[in-house]
C-alpha cells in the first residue's frame, strides 16, 4: 500500500508490510520505505503496479472536501478500478484527447465535465480562482498534517484560526455550484441521446444499471458530484500552475521568449496552434519540459531528493531548455519529468492536461509579449499545498504587432 505519494509521483513511501527486491537486496517489514529515483520507481511502481495500487486515504481531508471516501483521488482499490475505467471510457466518448476540444481550450474542463462553456468575464470563474488561491495556504498549514493523525484536533482548531472550518466553507461554495449544474443536467438528461459530457455519461450508466436490475454501487449522486469536483480541480489547477511558471520564466529569460516566438512564427505563422503542432516545435516543447521540471522540485517535500539531485539532473535549479534538445535540435522527452504520476494511480487527465498546457502556452507566446513592470524582474517564489504553484506576480502583457 502507498502511505503517501509526494507531489507528481516523484517519491513514494511504501507500507511497512511490503516485501520487495531491489538492488540493495530484499526489503521486508522494515518500517516506511522511500522509493526514489527514476529506475527504482519504474521497476516497482510500474512493473509491480498492483502491489502499489492501494493508497492510504486522508480521512479528515476527504471528510472536509467530499463528506467521505468519494471522488477519483483517494478511493480504495476496488472502487478506484471501477471508477477510473468508467471515467477514462466516458471521457474518451465525449471527446477526450480529440482535436474538437482545442476549439474550447479555455473552457475545456467545464465543457468535458458539464457540457457547458463560461464566458471569460463570468464571475464564477473569478470566484473559483479566488477560492483556489485561498485554499492553498490552508492546505499547506502544518496543522492539517496533525489533524490526519489526531482527528480530535478538528474540534479545537479555533485556537489557531479554524483552518479546517475555513477549508470546508470554501469547498462548500464550489460544491453548491456543481450541485446546481448537475441538477440542471439531470433535468435535461435524455438517455436516448449520446452523452455530451462526463455528468451525462455518469447519469446514463446509473440508469443502465437500474434498468438492468444491477446494483447501483458507486454510481450515485454523491459520487458523481465529487468526481466532477475532482476533475475540475485537477484540470484547472495543473494547467494554471504550468502557465504561471512558464510566464514568469519567460519574463525572467527574454532570450528564451524570443526563441520561442521565432520558432512559432517560422513554423506556424499566424494560424491557430493545434496540439499536433508539438512535433513541429521542439524548442517550445523543451521550454515546457524545463518549466515542468522546475515546478516539480519543491524544497519542502521528499520529492526534492529526486528533482533537485545532481545525480538525476545537472544543475537542476538552472533554467536551461536546451538541455532537452539533442545535438540535432530535436526535442528529447524525459520520462523522469512527469507531473501526472505513474503506475495504476496515474492521472486520468494526463492527455488532456498536456494538450492544454502546450496549446495555451504556445498560443500566448505566439500572440503576446511578456515583460517585467519595472527594471527588476519578478522574484520566483512558491506556495505549497497539495501541489506547488508560483506566487502572484506582476507582468506587462502586450499584443505582438
* Residue 197 zone, left/alpha/beta (φ > 0; ψ -120 to 50; rest): beta
Residue 145 forms part of a structural domain:
yes
Contact 316, 308 (CB under 8 A): yes
Contact 244, 390 (CB under 8 A): yes
Contact 9, 38 (CB under 8 A): no
Distance from chain centroid for Cα 367: 26
Angle at CA of residue 72, ends 104 and 124, nearest 5°? 45
pLDDT score of 6: 36
Note whether 146 and 170 are same-domain residues.
yes
pLDDT score of 22: 44
Residue 6 forms part of a structural domain:
yes
Count of other CB atoms within 10 angstroms of residue 316: 19
**Side-chain-facing half-sphere of 316: CA atoms under 13 Å:** 20
Note whether 39 and 77 are same-domain residues.
no
Residue 109 forms part of a structural domain:
yes
Task: Record the pTM.
Answer: 0.73
The CA distance from 44 to 60, in Å, is: 29
Q: How far is CA 355 from CA 97, 106, 173, 273, in A?
A: 8, 11, 29, 11
| 347 carries a ligand binding annotation | yes
Note whether 134 and 110 are same-domain residues.
yes
Contact 67, 223 (CB under 8 A): no
Note whether 42 and 67 are same-domain residues.
no
Note whether 120 and 263 are same-domain residues.
yes
Residue 149 forms part of a structural domain:
yes
Number of separate domains in the chain:
2
Residue 53 forms part of a structural domain:
no
Domain that holds residue 13: 2-46
Note whether 77 and 10 are same-domain residues.
no
Count of other CB atoms within 10 angstroms of residue 115: 18
- 10 Å CB burial of residue 43 (0-12, 13-18, 19+) is middle
Residue 100 forms part of a structural domain:
yes
pLDDT score of 96: 61
Q: How far is CA 314 from CA 136, 260, 306, 307, 324, in A?
A: 31, 23, 12, 10, 12
Note whether 37 and 106 are same-domain residues.
no
3-state secondary structure of 136: helix
**Side-chain-facing half-sphere of 358: CA atoms under 13 Å:** 25
Give 394's contacts (C-beta < 8 A, 6+ positions apart): 372, 373, 378
Note whether 39 and 138 are same-domain residues.
no
Count of other CB atoms within 10 angstroms of residue 293: 23
The CA distance from 136 to 324, in Å, is: 31
Note whether 270 and 229 are same-domain residues.
yes
Note whether 196 and 335 are same-domain residues.
yes
Note whether 19 and 146 are same-domain residues.
no
Note whether 32 and 148 are same-domain residues.
no
pLDDT score of 116: 78
Angle between helices 254-267 and 282-295 (to 10 degrees): 140
Mean pLDDT by runs of 10 across the 401 residues of the chain is: 37 41 42 61 68 71 80 70 80 63 59 78 77 78 83 88 89 88 92 91 94 91 89 76 92 98 97 93 97 68 46 76 95 84 71 84 95 93 73 92 75
pLDDT score of 228: 86
The CA distance from 256 to 363, in Å, is: 15
Please report where in the chains the cell 508560483 appears, as a residue: 390
3-state secondary structure of 43: helix
Residue 52 forms part of a structural domain:
no
pLDDT score of 19: 41
pLDDT score of 297: 57
Q: Write the CATH number for 64.
A: 1.10.630.10
3-state secondary structure of 343: helix
Please report where in the chains the cell 534538445 appears, as a residue: 325
Residue 51 forms part of a structural domain:
no
Give 140's contacts (C-beta < 8 A, 6+ positions apart): 383, 384, 385
The CA distance from 38 to 22, in Å, is: 13
Amino acid at each position: 500500500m502507498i502511505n503517501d505519494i509526494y507531489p507528481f509521483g516523484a517519491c513514494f513511501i511504501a507500507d511497512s508490510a511490503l516485501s520487495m527486491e531491489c538492488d540493495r537486496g530484499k526489503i521486508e517489514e522494515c518500517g516506511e520505505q522511500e522509493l526514489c529515483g527514476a529506475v527504482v520507481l519504474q521497476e516497482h511502481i510500474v512493473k509491480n503496479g498492483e502491489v502499489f495500487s492501494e493508497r492510504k486515504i486522508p480521512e479528515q481531508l476527504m471528510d472536509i472536501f467530499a463528506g467521505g471516501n468519494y471522488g477519483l483521488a483517494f478511493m480504495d482499490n476496488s472502487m478506484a478500478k471501477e471508477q477510473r475505467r468508467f471515467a477514462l471510457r466516458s471521457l474518451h466518448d465525449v471527446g477526450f484527447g480529440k482535436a474538437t476540444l482545442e476549439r474550447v481550450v479555455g473552457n475545456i474542463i467545464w465543457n468535458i465535465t458539464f457540457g457547458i462553456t463560461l464566458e471569460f468575464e463570468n464571475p464564477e470563474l473569478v470566484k473559483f480562482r479566488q477560492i483556489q488561491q485561498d485554499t492553498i495556504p490552508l492546505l499547506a498549514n502544518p496543522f492539517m498534517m496533525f489533524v490526519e493523525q489526531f482527528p480530535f484536533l478538528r474540534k479545537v482548531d479555533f485556537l489557531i484560526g479554524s483552518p479546517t472550518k475555513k477549508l470546508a466553507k470554501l469547498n462548500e461554495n464550489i460544491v453548491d455550484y456543481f450541485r446546481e449544474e448537475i441538477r440542471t443536467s439531470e433535468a435535461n438528461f435524455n438517455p436516448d441521446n449520446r452523452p455530451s459530457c462526463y455528468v451525462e455519461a455518469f447519469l446514463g450508466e446509473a440508469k443502465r444499471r437500474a434498468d438492468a436490475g444491477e446494483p447501483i454501487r458507486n454510481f450515485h449522486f454523491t459520487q458523481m458530484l465529487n468526481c466532477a469536483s475532482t476533475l475540475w480541480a485537477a484540470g484547472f489547477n495543473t494547467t494554471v500552475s504550468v502557465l504561471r511558471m512558464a510566464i514568469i520564466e519567460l519574463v525572467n529569460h527574454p532570450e528564451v521568449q524570443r526563441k520561442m516566438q521565432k520558432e512559432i512564427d517560422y513554423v506556424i505563422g499566424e494560424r491557430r496552434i493545434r496540439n499536433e503542432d508539438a512535433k513541429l516545435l521542439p524548442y517550445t516543447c523543451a521550454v515546457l519540459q524545463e518549466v515542468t521540471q522546475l515546478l516539480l522540485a519543491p524544497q519542502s517535500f521528499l520529492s526534492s531528493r529526486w528533482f533537485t539531485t545532481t545525480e538525476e539532473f545537472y544543475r537542476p535549479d538552472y533554467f536551461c531548455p536546451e538541455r532537452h534538445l539533442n545535438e540535432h535540435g530535436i526535442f528529447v522527452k524525459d520520462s523522469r519529468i512527469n507531473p501526472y504520476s505513474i503506475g495504476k494511480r496515474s492521472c486520468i487527465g494526463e492527455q488532456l492536461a498536456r494538450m492544454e498546457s502546450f496549446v495555451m502556452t504556445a498560443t500566448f507566446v505566439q500572440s503576446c509579449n511578456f515583460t517585467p513592470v519595472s527594471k527588476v524582474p519578478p522574484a520566483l517564489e512558491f506556495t505549497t499545498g497539495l501541489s506547488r504553484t508560483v506566487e502572484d506576480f506582476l507582468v506587462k502583457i502586450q499584443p505582438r504587432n
